[in-house]
Structure 1
Amino acid sequence: MEIVFEKQSEVRGKLSITLQPEDYLSELDKELKKIASKAHIKGFRPGKTPVAVVKNLYGNEILGDTVLKLFSQNVDKYLRENDIHFLGEPIAPENYDFPRFNVRFPETYSFQVEMALVPPFELKTEGIEAISYKITLSEEEKNKEFEAFLERQASIKEAQKVESENDFVMGNCTFNLESTEVEAESQTEPTTITRYALFLVSKLKKEAQEQFMGLEKGSEIEIYPFQVFENEEDTKENIFGTKEEDFTLLKDKKAKFQVERISRREKPELTESYFKQVFPNEEISDENAFKERILQNIVSDINIHAINFAKEKLKEDFIKQNTFEVDIEFLLRYLTQAKRVSEAEIKEIKQKPQEFLKGVHWEVLSNELIKKYNVEVTFEEVKQDYINGVIARVRQMGLNTGDDAWMYEFAFKQFKGLNKSQIDAIYTNIAREKAIDRLYEELPKTEKETSLKEFDEILKRGINA
């Protein structure tokens, strides 16, 4: 066997492997015997098919599989042992003719693969700023955040009468369109269209709000459903089944709206039992102490968010500081040939290559950081990360049953269904997060004290600002 590596440029290499018959014939013989011992071929008992028969029937295919397997194994071994860093996977050169295999005439086979190389570089952190934000809240912001917390904790309860702009009113809107001549026992019948609608009173125009106030469950009023909302988006979102043509057909049409259900968001009562429900292991007896404790959590969450933003900015600056040349032409050919992305995604990469290149750089740089810091990830961390993510998504969907044991079991069953590549992806993401955490800890910090309002503006400008 002969293996030759040629560095065509700093970013592209070619590997050639030549296999002589003595390199693969013993493996071919083993494979033929293995298949013969399991083959079910007409005229022979299971497992008793002669090797010569298997060779005659399937020899060319088995030879091809054997040779290509040896080729692939030796490519991987050579690249690993010679510490050759590359992007994506090695692929055959363009317009490459693969050899044809004939088991009757063993011969020498030569193969070539090309790869996108990672050029030599050293990690640099000089001049990179790691920011430590300290967020302070004004009294007005504290009150606003506390009220927002209570809104999130609000429960939905049935009501008999619309009394607040925060009430939800649901029911059917029935439109009577112009009469259409329908032959049915010489009668003319009106055409009707029904749309189910949800009206949050606060989203309605002022005159519509006044019309809805005082409505009771089961009552009926006449309204113009496509005119009561402030904007078209709210109309589409809250009149279910709305089609584009409805805005032409029904915009100026009056409908009978029958109130089927009235719901109201009610904030929790600030009682000792509620304080105990939120903080079961703490003794909180009055509203001021409860508010202060909630604000501690809110400020803590805001500062965690600020740290995560600072790490994302650090990651962006770190990539800019450590850019290297990338053979994007080869990578696009690899992605196309391996069918890793769709044609539309290839087109998007060509239109916006910078985002793609940033991802390529981070993949390489994060791997270097993982090695530098000897980052380790346990299987338990992978499992818990996935389960926590599933539980968080369930809660975001409003499906929280309050039964933590049930949700854990539900998430764990999903985790057990993951394949190796999915597990590896979670492992890699955790390792990369740990690597950027270590880099953030290592660098000197620039402290920035800012108000919540100012920090919101920073978030809007983004990490590149």
Structure 2
Amino acid sequence: MEITLDKHSANQASIKITLNEADYQPKVDAKLKDYAKKAVIKGFRPGKAPISMVKGMYGVSILVDEINAILGESLNSYLKEQTFRILGEPLPVEKENNSIDWKTQKGFDFEYKIGFVESINLALDNKTKGVKYAIKVDDKLINETIDNLKSQYGNSTNPEVSEANDTIYGDLKAAEGEFEKTLSLPLSKLSKKFSGKFIGLSKDAVVEFEAKDVKKDEWSEAFGLTDEEIEEAKGAFTFTVKNINRTEAAELNQEFFDKIFGPETVSSEEEFIAKVKETLQSSYDRESKVFTEEELKKVLIEKANLELPDAFLKEWLIRANEGKVTEADVEKEYPIYAKQLTWSLISNHIAKENSIQAEHADVIEKTKEMIREQFASSGLGAQLEASMDIFVDNYLKGKEGQNYMNMMTSVQNEKVLAFVQEKIDLTEKEISIDEFKELLDK
């Protein structure tokens, strides 16, 4: 047997395997003898058929099976000996004539394409700059949150005449064409100037306006139109009022406090405000952590500067998912896949170099945290904790164990990123919620 590697570029190569008769024939002969002992062939007692007849009936299939087994074992062993990291799976190269004479041919040549990355060079020191973000919960955000809660839990009425911040239910219709849609229009989501057209209206009133007077975000956020409907929204429109809805803000009393945080959790307005701040800060601390980690990933990906075998990986994705995806699908989704793969390679490299490992206990604890967050507003409390082990076990066994592997990967990533933050030059930066939103929009 002869195996040769031919590198075409820094991350793609072909492997050629040449087999001669001595490489496979002993195994084929042994398998034929085993078949002959068990074969039931008409006209012969079990196991007494001539070996030549057994060979004629099963020889080719046995030969193909044995050669495929030798190829798989030899290729895997060869790749394990290499210093580079194989990506995807080796792809057999199909010859133009693709013809093998299994009955007479003695020597066989096979070729595979592979994609790989060489060693990863990534120094974690103070030359690497990162930012640890902390979102500050200020009075403005607290007041906005309380106002939203008062509105959400307030009493709904149907007044005769509309006022600012009401929601008007009615029919939107284009003056030309067949467009017509019944919808609820929250006036708070319209500009002050435009919302004035809808104030002081009663049932069956008709508002006339031009499409050019409506901003694109108002079409989507207030009128609830789809992107396709917005593109076609031109010319004159009418809106016919069918009903007016108004929500009277809830009072800051014990009944309201209990609705938000559960019975007897807070008992005064001061305690309520403090609890809102604590809840908001906890939520935004998690968002800060996730955002910081995603930004750090970008820094490390840029610094590692890995060059993926893009052409090979795209071909592998198509062939590995034959019939399920098209070339267009792969082209569209490949940038996301490449980013995830690159980070996975970097994370595994850092973990290996620094003996970072996700332990079973870490997986269990992280799963518990996830379940607690999902049921945070359910009010189950002690009942949830009493059944926590069952919830955790059921989740981690889900999707044939894939949930467990995903959670383990998540734990490793968190440990890797925590380690990175200890090693690099990390600047802490406090930002407002508005600044955070601006960063997300970039």
Give your verdict on TM over 0.5.
Answer: yes
Does 2:24 correspond to 1:21? Answer: yes
Alignment pair present for 1:64 and 2:64:
yes
Return the offset for 1:105. Answer: 4.9
- Cα distance in structure 2, aligned partners of 1:74 and 1:349: 33
The answer to whether the aligner puts 1:210 opposite 2:192 as a matched pair is no
**Counterparts of 1:264 and 1:403 in 2: how far apart (Å)?**
32
**Do the aligned residues in 1 keep the contact of 2:293 with 2:417 (CA within 8 Å)?**
yes
Alignment of 1:156-305 (within 5 A): 158-161=156-159, 164-172=163-171, 195-203=181-189, 205-212=194-201, 215=202, 219-224=203-208, 230-231=214-215, 234-235=218-219, 238=223, 247=233, 251-252=235-236, 254=238, 256-259=240-243, 262-265=244-247, 267-276=249-258, 278-279=260-261, 284-305=266-287
- Identity rate, percent: 21
1:253–1:128 CA distance, 2 compared to 1 (3 A): closer
Aligned to 1:15, the other structure's residue is in SS state: strand
What RMSD in Å do the two structures reach over aligned CA positions?
5.1
* 1:202-233 deviation per Cα after TM superposition (whole angstroms, max 9, x unaligned): 34534432243xx4xxx433333876973355
8 Å CA contact retained: 2:362, 2:411: no
User: How far apart, in 2, do the equivalents of 1:445 and 1:245 lie?
Assistant: 45
The answer to whether the 8 A contact 1:382-1:427 is kept is: no
Say whether 1:363 aligns with 2:347: no
TM-score (norm 1): 0.67
Q: Give the Cα separation in 1 of the matches to 2:18 and 2:251.
A: 79
Deviation at 1:85, TM superposition (A): 1.6
Which of 356, 359, 372 does residue 374 from structure 1 map onto?
A: 356
Change (3 A) 1:15 1:146: same
Give the match for residue 432 of structure 1. Answer: 413
Closer, same or farther: CA 290–245 of 1 in aligned 2, 3 Å: closer
- Secondary structure at the aligned position of 1:220 is classed as coil
1:66-105 equivalence runs, <5 A: 66-82=66-82, 84-93=84-93, 95=95, 100=100, 102=102, 104-105=103-104
Query: 2:214 is aligned with what amino acid?
Result: E
Quick one: distance in 2 between partners of 1:85 and 1:174? 61
Could you say if the C-alpha distance between residues 381 and 298 of structure 1 is closer, same or farther in structure 2, counting changes exceeding 3 Å? Answer: same
Q: Give yes or no for contact 2:364–2:392 (8 Å, CA) kept in 1.
A: no
Q: Tell me how far apart the structure 1 counterparts of residues 134 and 271 of structure 2 sit (CA, whole Å).
A: 23
Partner Cα distance (2:259, 2:238) in 1? 48
Which is worse superposed, 197-206 or 326-335? Answer: 326-335
CA shift for structure 1 position 70? 3.6
Q: Say if 1:157 and 1:263, in contact at 8 Å, map to a contact too.
A: no
Of 145, 148, 153, the match for 2:145: 148
Work out whether residues 156 and 264 of structure 1, in 8 Å CA contact, stay in contact via their aligned partners in 2. no
- Code of the residue aligned with 1:428 in structure 2: it is T
Measure how far apart 1:275 and its partner are: 3.4
Residue ranges of structure 2 left out of the alignment (5+ in a row): none
In 2, distance between residues paired with 1:423 and 1:26? 45
Report the TM-score when normalising by structure 2: 0.70
Q: In the aligned structure 1, how far is the partner of 2:38 from the partner of 2:276?
A: 68
Letter in 2 for 1:170: Y
Unpaired segments ≥5 residues, structure 1: 179-191
Match among 413, 417, 429 for residue 448 of structure 1: 429
